[in-house]
Structure 1
Amino acid sequence: MAERPVPSDDPLVTDAGGGSRRTRFEDKKQRILDVATVLLNERGVTGMTFQEVAQALSLKTTSVIYYFRYKELLAAAVLEDSIERLHAMVREAGTEPTPEARVEKYLALFFDLTARSLRKEMRPLANFSEIRALDEEYRLPLIAQYQALFRDVREFFGTSDDPDRKRVLTARTQLLNESLFWATFWLPHYALGDFDSVRRRMFDILREGIGAKGLESTACPLTLEEALDAAPLQSPFMRIATRLINEHGYKGASVDSIMREMNLTKGSFYHHNEAKDDLILECFRESYRRLTRLQSAVDARGGTRWQRLENGIASVLVLQFASDHPLLRSTALQAMPTALRAEALELSNREALWLAGALLDGMREGSVRLIDPAIAGHIIMSTINSAYDVRGWAAGQPLELAVSRFAGLLTKGIFD
């Protein structure tokens, strides 16, 4: 990322032993990144302002602009810093001898960083979904950096020149990464002293899956037509807004872009909607209702509790992979205004709680292993959330195979 050079008259500070430390320039820049990362996670690229960054540091706004001339440059620097820090963790975990040991180390490093950020010892990782909100000149380099990180995580599971084998490894990597990223939403509800226990329970689910021992993954989802009949998305405004948010984030779903896709005027938008935020919040509510209707249609078929859950998950994957009317990605809630984001997050938490209850029912009947149902519910939610992001991956194989591969990772775990 381009940035202003260190002023030549800013002396290098040295420690008592003669070793160099950060310049005052670099120290202030890092403090700006500390504050900007928190604000970016709270308010998104759109809501973060130079003024708030400066106020948090008792600086003038011009002092922040001196380091980062444009707000998008600051946002890009925050995201680049987070990708680099996460990539360093990936490289460290990659030195372990086995796939299981690499993933376990990756979780340990991630949980340690999260704990330290909650204790205010270091800045947290930025929400990577905000990359979508940046203009192309900033977005494309960050995507390339994240893709390099993703490839290194994929190598935790081995390497292969076989395209079909690589698709399997890609699915494992997507589920692993998204499970960790989504954990930043629910981990703060646990006491820091419980993090090690939570991490071990999460790793157990990733390693062994959710289904009972010896249970094969036999997902039988609704067809695309059946899924759309069970969970239709009637409103053309919500169809366009949902797709734009999934592809470009909250900022990308502007009133102008929605109206341009519908070939209508702004006046037409405000005739049907009070404001953009009201429409986006209704998209979240409708996605929650559609999930409920979809699961009800699957439940009507019968089967064990886990079979019904797995078929429900697979049916959602059908919508996310192949439908023009997908469900809204929950990670899109990050850039929403605080009051609206709280309700959207509450809907996601409600779904995770419902999943936890269904998993407990499965444990009682023996179709689900003895696991932590709350953590498993969040892993399922992150899997559903992330499915839209790998539509290209799914398109490279038969839909039935793509769905069974993704759903099967939940049943049997992410290792061979």
Structure 2
Amino acid sequence: MMTDAKADSAALEGPSGPPLSRFERQRGKILDAATMLLNQRGIAGMTLQEVAEQLGLKTTAVTYYFRYKEQLVRAVFEDSLQRLKEMVEQAGKADTPRARVDQYLRIHFDHYAAAMQGKTRPLAILSEMRALEGEARAALMQQYQAVFRGVRAFFGPADTAARKLRLTARTQMLNEVVFWSAIWLKQYDVGDFDTVRRQLFDILDGGIATRPSRALPAALGTGEAVAAGDSYSQFLRTATRLMNEVGYRGTSIDRIAAELNLTKGSFYHHLPTKDELILQCFRNSYQRLRDLREQARKAGLDAWETLISVIAQAMKYQFGEDYPLLRTTAFQALPDSVRQIPYEHAQRTTLLFSGLLVDSVREGAAKNVNPLLASHIIMSTINSASDIRSWAAKQDRDDAVADCLSAITRGIFHPA
């Protein structure tokens, strides 16, 4: 938690540095507290009362600035998007695509270090914008699209349809890597950030494969961890898709039951609470990845073939509309009481890919890169795929998968 002194410091200066008015300083401190609570508990778990308590104020002191919770939530996202836009503009001044991406990472890592030390307000977890509805969501998504186009410009002009398709996927992957790093960077000492950033950039730049010709995924079955026809399976499928699309807050039992034309009673016959359903979705997504790995092993694939085949099938899951994998980033919106299990599954997924990478290095198929960082890039790419289904739909599904695999194996600057 940011101390009062540090909160005062973080809210003291505006974007260009001059002292702020008392009104602006107090508003800034409210945004400090609200951003941290939103990141910790999601939109559903953040209340105006708790924001006030964080600052030692009465709730009426917060409602003077933000009458409704929805106004404060929107202000938090607008603030983060504006700061993100400034980061993108700063990085975009570099001369080459590689220099721009390197600078983009450097700016974010510097920001994360300052936020961890309580020197600045963290960026809000933007995936929580999925939980918003109506005009607020539309306006914020429009702001994010402007940021997205700015990052895509790092790679050069999107002057043909084919190049625009490729750069869109690269941009989605890069942003997901950057945003997900805010979670796993907490495991490192701030003094190691520069080394981690350099190693991360090297993987993004050069990929993980020693011989690109080996990046030929084998076809794996779907490896479903649940049966397709029963109502329990239908609840899992629908809840997973909705969590990816509208977040924890938007995934209500009423909405799931309405989509399936089932009663709420049929849900409670299988699961006692919504949180238990979401936890089961996390367990099931992890199990589906494990099942794919086991299929590959039974088929006699080596570690490298297993790795790229699992990634390829996971991408196909995400590009499909029926039953994607639950994004590992979805746990950030969960209540504190249920976050631990999904976080552990995210860590196990990282270790699953790390183990395959280490064995692939021994086979001579993968570069001797930091396997944990490479695994985070793989997970980020799989996560990002659920947001670019429309991109994948504009081309052959196998071509879309191959393009994403190319970014992982050969680097984000390599032409597909």
Say whether the 8 Å CA contact 1:318–1:403 is kept in structure 2.
yes
1:283 aligned onto 2:295: no
Residue in 1 that maps onto 2:413? 415
> Match of 1:274, SS?
coil
Alignment CA distance shift 1:51-1:255 (3 Å): same
How far is the alpha carbon of 1:233 from its aligned partner? Answer: 5.3
Q: CA offsets, 1:143-172, max 9 Å, x none?
A: 000011000100100113211111111111
**Structure 1 stretch displaced more, 89-98 or 325-334:** 325-334
Which residues of 2 match residues 316-335 of structure 1 at below 5 A?
316-335=314-333
How far is the alpha carbon of 1:221 from its aligned partner? Answer: 4.6
Q: CA separation in 1, counterparts of 2:199 and 2:51?
A: 38
Q: CA offsets, 1:344-382, max 9 Å, x none?
A: 011010110121122111111211101001111111111
Which residues of 2 match residues 231-270 of structure 1 at below 5 A?
231-232=225-226, 234=228, 235-270=233-268
Alignment CA distance shift 1:56-1:163 (3 Å): same
1:219 aligned onto 2:216: yes
1:118 aligned onto 2:107: no
Residue in 1 that maps onto 2:397? 399
Q: CA separation in 1, counterparts of 2:18 and 2:399?
A: 56
How far is the alpha carbon of 1:305 from its aligned partner? Answer: 2.0
Say whether the 8 Å CA contact 2:215–2:409 is kept in structure 1.
no
- Which residue identity does 2:319 align to in structure 1? F
1:202 aligned onto 2:200: yes
**Structure 1 stretch displaced more, 152-161 or 295-304:** 295-304
How far is the alpha carbon of 1:323 from its aligned partner? Answer: 4.6
Aligned mate of 1:271, from 256, 269, 272: 269
Residue in 1 that maps onto 2:76? 78
Residue in 2 that maps onto 1:94? 92
> Match of 1:415, SS?
coil
Say whether the 8 Å CA contact 1:259–1:265 is kept in structure 2.
yes
- Which residue identity does 1:153 align to in structure 2? V
Q: CA separation in 2, counterparts of 1:386 and 1:326?
A: 12
Alignment CA distance shift 1:134-1:196 (3 Å): same
Percent of pairs identical after alignment? 51
- Which residue identity does 1:59 align to in structure 2? L
Residue in 2 that maps onto 1:297? 295
> Match of 2:213, SS?
coil
How far is the alpha carbon of 1:325 from its aligned partner? Answer: 1.2
Q: CA separation in 2, counterparts of 1:52 and 1:330?
A: 27
Say whether the 8 Å CA contact 1:36–1:53 is kept in structure 2.
yes
Say whether the 8 Å CA contact 2:88–2:147 is kept in structure 1.
yes
Q: CA separation in 1, counterparts of 2:316 and 2:300?
A: 19
Q: CA offsets, 1:310-335, max 9 Å, x none?
A: 11100111111025011111111112
Say whether the 8 Å CA contact 2:240–2:324 is kept in structure 1.
yes
Say whether the 8 Å CA contact 1:232–1:290 is kept in structure 2.
no
Normalised by the length of structure 2, the TM-score is 0.92
- Which residue identity does 2:244 align to in structure 1? N
How far is the alpha carbon of 1:337 from its aligned partner? Answer: 1.5
Say whether the 8 Å CA contact 1:244–1:252 is kept in structure 2.
yes
Residue in 2 that maps onto 1:307? 305
Q: CA separation in 2, counterparts of 1:312 and 1:49?
A: 41
- Which residue identity does 2:42 align to in structure 1? G
How many residue pairs match? The answer is 396
Say whether the 8 Å CA contact 1:231–1:294 is kept in structure 2.
no
Q: CA separation in 1, counterparts of 2:18 and 2:191?
A: 36
Q: CA offsets, 1:254-306, max 9 Å, x none?
A: 01101111212222222221010011101100111111001222333334422
Say whether the 8 Å CA contact 1:54–1:63 is kept in structure 2.
yes
Say whether the 8 Å CA contact 2:218–2:305 is kept in structure 1.
no
CA RMSD of aligned residues (A): 1.7
How far is the alpha carbon of 1:86 from its aligned partner? Answer: 1.1
- Which residue identity does 2:343 align to in structure 1? L
- Which residue identity does 1:75 align to in structure 2? V
Q: CA separation in 2, counterparts of 1:247 and 1:230?
A: 21
Q: CA offsets, 1:86-121, max 9 Å, x none?
A: 110110110100000000000000000000000000
How far is the alpha carbon of 1:231 from its aligned partner? Answer: 4.8
Say whether the 8 Å CA contact 1:132–1:139 is kept in structure 2.
yes
Q: CA offsets, 1:51-88, max 9 Å, x none?
A: 11001111110111111111111111111111111110
How far is the alpha carbon of 1:230 from its aligned partner? Answer: 5.1
Unaligned runs of at least 5 residues, structure 2 = 1-11
Q: CA separation in 1, counterparts of 2:59 and 2:53?
A: 8
Say whether the 8 Å CA contact 2:306–2:356 is kept in structure 1.
no
